[in-house]
A and B are shown apart, each in its own frame.
Chain A
Amino acid sequence: MLRQVFRKPQKWSVFKEMLFREIDDLGLKSLGIIMFISFFVGGVVAIQTALNVDSPFIPKYLIGFATKRGIILEFAPTFMSIILAGKVGSYITSSMGTMRVTEQIDALEVMGINSLNYLVLPKILAALFFYPLLILLSMFLGIVGGYFAGLLTDLFFSVDYIYGIQLDFDPYYIKYALTKTVVFAFVITTIPAYHGFYVKGGSLEVGRASTRAVVWTSIVIILLNYFLTQMLLG
């Protein structure tokens, strides 16, 4: 499958059009949910850290520090990728599965079009290009969410929080998070595309394939997360 996907596009102008459409469908249309979840989960992480750090011997700036680390290392790249696996993965499988069962993919093949390349490559490239940006935004909003949680709950001072997020900043962690994101972006597009492209049957099968795709994508993300963490941070 991947050999067919990574062939040279048959017409660059059509490919460019498809790429922008996929950036819109897979990336821009996920902005809202990513922003919403990032902001509130960032707030929750900060509140929970604050509630668990009630010893007078532990400095309060550690709340900001722990929130930042948690969000950058794990929450933004992995948790958000799982969210995207659900949202984007089911969209990819169901749209391609519907194209398969309504013979639209056969129509492409009959026209002499490499359907895998035409349908899947723009999705992969759109995700590889856009998801790192989404994850950077998610990191930022998660940390901002933590800040506002402090303001609203009075569990910690904003000065401490800001000091904490500036403390011991290591750019490698951003690189690590973005490396994971790129790998996950590939997984989020290819596994659902595979399930959608090769679906057989009718609408019920398309639904089942969507569920299967989301489950497998999530499992692969979790497993890769473990191995990548061990490789890059271990």
Chain B
Amino acid sequence: MIEVKNLYKEFNGVPVLKGISTTFEKGKTNMIIGQSGSGKTVFLKCLLGLHTPEKGKICFDGRIHTELGIKQRRQLRQEMGMVFQGGALFDSLTIEENIMFPLKMFANKSTSEMLDRVNIVLNRVNLENVNKKFPAQLSGGMQKRVAIARAIVMNPKYLFCDEPNSGLDPRTATVIDNLIQEITKEYQIITIINSHDMNSVMEIGEKIIFLKDGKNAWEGSNDEIFKTENEAVVDFVYSSNLFKQVREAHLSKTK
């Protein structure tokens, strides 16, 4: 479990996160939503340890992140997988080398064992015959799948995704969503997704955290988000007519 207690982060005296507290459970897909500038990315980067919070604690299965030494922190990071918004694949390496990279750095395996593992994860994300290609030779959706493959190659306990669907067509976005959810269940990991995509939120958000002005203004599941009366959430999630109609239809069905 990841426990966040009273997380506070500021940049040049301007507070971005103002005391966020929440928990993330194993085997669940957690979504962080909120308007641009609400602090989602900063929150995710604090969880990843890329930003150090001024106040508060982040506890990964009993290990308080800010109290760990450099070695222990690096060890913890090896238990994390991250899918960046743009994929963040290393352009100078082939797909195979990209996925093999964490194994080469941290696993004591022979080359053939590493290649086997690469092929397993590539197969898991439904990619074939891409081993020797470079990231620039793949489509956006394929790059995202490679990024997911690289993130899960070390069997992480925690998977973080920053806007995994951005720039993808709706069909590919659904494929990526389903893939992330399947992997979360299959490997029983804690998945935290930063998203603007309301389709994803409704589809796979088992726990949704709505951030507003650096605070978690609302928390609940994808079922509860239909019923919520929280004005800020309703304004944000149901800003489009389509989603308003979906909500009304859902509410009238459940009455």
| A residues adjacent to B (C-beta < 8 A) | 10-11, 13-14, 98-99, 102-104, 106-107, 109-114
B115 CB, nearest partner CB in chain A, Å: 16
Specify which chain A residues have a CB less than 8 angstroms from the CB of B102 in the assembled complex. 111
Instruction: Give Cα distance in the complex from A99 to B88, angstroms.
Output: 8
Do A110 and B74 touch across chains, with their CB atoms under 8 A apart? no
| B residues adjacent to A (C-beta < 8 A) | 48-50, 73-78, 80, 82, 84-86, 88-91, 101-102, 104-106, 160
Do A106 and B88 touch across chains, with their CB atoms under 8 A apart? yes
User: Please, which residue of chain B has its CB at the minimum distance from the CB of A113?
Assistant: B105
Given A103-B86, A106-B84, A111-B78, 19 more A-B residue pairs with CB atoms under 8 Å apart are A11-B104, A11-B106, A98-B91, A102-B86, A102-B88, A102-B91, A103-B88, A104-B88, A104-B91, A107-B88, A107-B90, A110-B77, A110-B82, A111-B77, A111-B102, A111-B105, A111-B106, A112-B73, A114-B74
Do B74 and A112 touch across chains, with their CB atoms under 8 A apart? yes
Contacts A103-B88, A112-B74; A14 near B105 (Cβ below 8 A) = yes
Instruction: Give Cα distance in the complex from A102 to B135, angstroms.
Output: 13
Specify which chain B residues have a CB less than 8 angstroms from the CB of A110 in the assembled complex. 48-50, 77, 80, 82, 160
Write 8 A-B pairs (CB below 8 A) sorted by A numbering: A13-B104, A14-B104, A14-B105, A103-B84, A103-B88, A106-B82, A107-B84, A109-B49
Instruction: Give Cα distance in the complex from A106 to B45, angstroms.
Output: 10
Specify which chain B residues have a CB less than 8 angstroms from the CB of A111 in the assembled complex. 77-78, 101-102, 105-106
B173 CB, nearest partner CB in chain A, Å: 20
Specify which chain B residues have a CB less than 8 angstroms from the CB of A104 in the assembled complex. 88-91
Q: Which of A10, A98, A109, A112 has the most CB of B within 10 A?
A: A112
Specify which chain B residues have a CB less than 8 angstroms from the CB of A107 in the assembled complex. 82, 84, 88, 90
Residue of A98, A102, A106, A112 touching B106 (CB-CB under 8 A): A112
Shortest 4 CB-CB distances between A and B: which pairs? A112-B77, A112-B74, A103-B88, A107-B88
Specify which chain A residues have a CB less than 8 angstroms from the CB of B91 in the assembled complex. 98, 102, 104
Specify which chain B residues have a CB less than 8 angstroms from the CB of A109 in the assembled complex. 49-50, 77
Instruction: Give Cα distance in the complex from A62 to B75, angstroms.
Output: 65
Instruction: Give Cα distance in the complex from A14 to B80, angstroms.
Output: 21
Q: Which of B50, B75, B89, B105 has the most CB of A within 10 A?
A: B105
Instruction: Give Cα distance in the complex from A9 to B82, angstroms.
Output: 23
Do A112 and B78 touch across chains, with their CB atoms under 8 A apart? yes
Specify which chain B residues have a CB less than 8 angstroms from the CB of A112 in the assembled complex. 73-78, 106
Specify which chain B residues have a CB less than 8 angstroms from the CB of A99 in the assembled complex. 90
User: Please, which residue of chain B has its CB at the minimum distance from the CB of A11?
Assistant: B105
Instruction: Give Cα distance in the complex from A99 to B101, angstroms.
Output: 16
B137 CB, nearest partner CB in chain A, Å: 16
Instruction: Give Cα distance in the complex from A18 to B82, angstroms.
Output: 23
Instruction: Give Cα distance in the complex from A103 to B85, angstroms.
Output: 9
Instruction: Give Cα distance in the complex from A11 to B78, angstroms.
Output: 14
User: Please, which residue of chain B has its CB at the minimum distance from the CB of A10?
Assistant: B105
Instruction: Give Cα distance in the complex from A13 to B160, angstroms.
Output: 29
Specify which chain A residues have a CB less than 8 angstroms from the CB of B90 in the assembled complex. 99, 104, 107
Specify which chain A residues have a CB less than 8 angstroms from the CB of B77 in the assembled complex. 109-112
B216 CB, nearest partner CB in chain A, Å: 23
Specify which chain A residues have a CB less than 8 angstroms from the CB of B104 in the assembled complex. 11, 13-14
User: Please, which residue of chain A has its CB at the minimum distance from the CB of B70?
Assistant: A114
B63 CB, nearest partner CB in chain A, Å: 14
Specify which chain A residues have a CB less than 8 angstroms from the CB of B85 in the assembled complex. 103
